[in-house]
Amino acid sequence: MTVDSVLQLKCSCNQYPWGKKGSESLAARLAAKTPGWDENDKGNKTDFKIDEERFYSEMWMGTYPVLPSYVLSTGEDLQDVIDKNPDELIGKGVMNKFGHTKLPYLPKVLSISKALPLQLHPNKELSAKIHSKDSEKFTDPNHKPEIALALTKFEAFCGFKPLDQVSKLVHLEPLKQFLPAVQKPSFDDMTLKHFVNTVLKADEDTIAKVQEELKKLPKASFGGDSYIPDLIPRLQSQYEKTDPGTIVALITMNYLVLDPGQSIYIPADGIHAYLSGDIIECMARSNNVLNVGFCPAADRDSADLFCSVLTFSPHSPDEALLKQQSYPGSVSGKTNVFKPPMSEFNMLTTELGAGEKETLKPVKGPGIMIVTKGAATMKAQGKDFELKEGAIFFIGQGVETSYEAKDGLQMFTAYVE
């Protein structure tokens, strides 16, 4: 008996205050495109309807239990369906590689109206340690490297600026107080870590005073980072003037403005804070995070813990960017791939004009696909599937899919093999 390996999914959005309001949220609009269950509705799930007074931040796609996806035709949890036929849907190779039947990645659509918390996602060793101590807050023992792929103009703080650039900024008069009393001959990563940790632990009056002093400096004082005094009021309007994230982000981190189609890679332990835009985000299967800024003081994690695992990669804007490559599994050449330096997933991007066709060869692992623009007919397992904006599908291992666009098509597919 042939197992249905192509399953349309129903997904939902969470609501964090940094999300976009109502229908302004692309994440919410895409989630609302899919109707309710066709049959066997047990009454415990309903259509996702947009409340114009709420802020919608993330639509999750996959099997992470915090916000799982459901099979549209039956209302079943996708993980329950996978567990009934793991060999056919996940594949023995992927199960042997990761040691379980769960998807090793978690794709999302994010809609961002103001800065997310200044954060990092801890490595596997620390994740296991903090999970064992507080499994309610840190819900798994895994790491969480990730990519962010811009769907619209996307602003982000990502990794650290080059050391010579940071060195000039931290020696501005208002910031010297955060440097070590005895300084090394040259500014290095350990000095940078000391600066970050000292800022994060400074009292609120000091942080507020320093921000005001920075705003008074002439723009020329900031060299090539002349955007800094302009962004201070913007961040202060989003969070308190006493939030240390403003100083850490603007003085030490790369400020990136990405165009649609560009992507960045965030390694485990990599410092980052997304600022605005709509993105496809995909990460290793985890929900662990340490926050130290752009959030209420009560929600901040230990600065010492944060800095103890802080990585210094990337260390420039170019190092942060993840470039797309041609995808050998594309028959028509209409699909490219982002391949982050990790084993849990790659991300395909497919762009078709009206009437254009594409075929994607089978891979030895499962995929999650979302249509973000346009419409098409997809052929798989001898069936036709109508794709429209917001359509989300699970595609089991070993399945070839073909597409014919109607008025054009933009879609993204996370997969592992």
Asked if residue 404 belongs to a known ligand binding site, the reply is no
What is the DSSP code string of 143-190? ---EEEEESS-EEEEEEEPPHHHHHHHHTSGGGGGGS-SS--SS--HH
**What are 117's two structure tokens?**
């918390």
Asked if residue 121 belongs to a known ligand binding site, the reply is yes
Tell how strand 253-258 and strand 290-293 pair up: unpaired
Neighbours of 124 (CB within 10 A): 15
Among candidate residues 161, 4, 102, 59, the one with its CA nearest the CA of residue 412: 59
| For the chain, counts of helices (H) and of strands (E) | 12, 23
What is the distance between the alpha carbons of residues 373 and 360, in angstroms, rounded to a whole number?
A: 18
Place of tokens 């990669």: 313
Among candidate residues 198, 194, 175, the one with its CA nearest the CA of residue 184: 194
- Three-class secondary structure of residue 409 per DSSP: strand
What is the distance between the alpha carbons of residues 215 and 96, in angstroms, rounded to a whole number?
A: 55
What is the distance between the alpha carbons of residues 61 and 71, in angstroms, rounded to a whole number?
A: 11
55 DSSP β-pair partners: 21
Place of tokens 């420039």: 316
Asked if residue 100 belongs to a known ligand binding site, the reply is no
What is the distance between the alpha carbons of residues 121 and 291, in angstroms, rounded to a whole number?
A: 9
Q: Helix/strand/coil (H, E, C) string of 242-253?
A: CCCHHHHHHHHE
Asked if residue 119 belongs to a known ligand binding site, the reply is yes
Give one word for 270, left, alpha or beta, with left for phi > 0 and alpha for psi -120 to 50: beta
105 DSSP β-pair partners: 284
Among candidate residues 102, 110, 30, 14, the one with its CA nearest the CA of residue 63: 102
DSSP state, residue 162: P
Among candidate residues 27, 72, 65, 22, the one with its CA nearest the CA of residue 45: 72
**What are 92's two structure tokens?**
């023995």
Query: Are 412 and 349 spatial neighbours (Cβ–Cβ below 8 Å)?
Result: yes
Residues making up the annotated binding site for Zn(2+) are 119, 121, 146, 272
Residues making up the annotated binding site are 119, 121, 146, 272
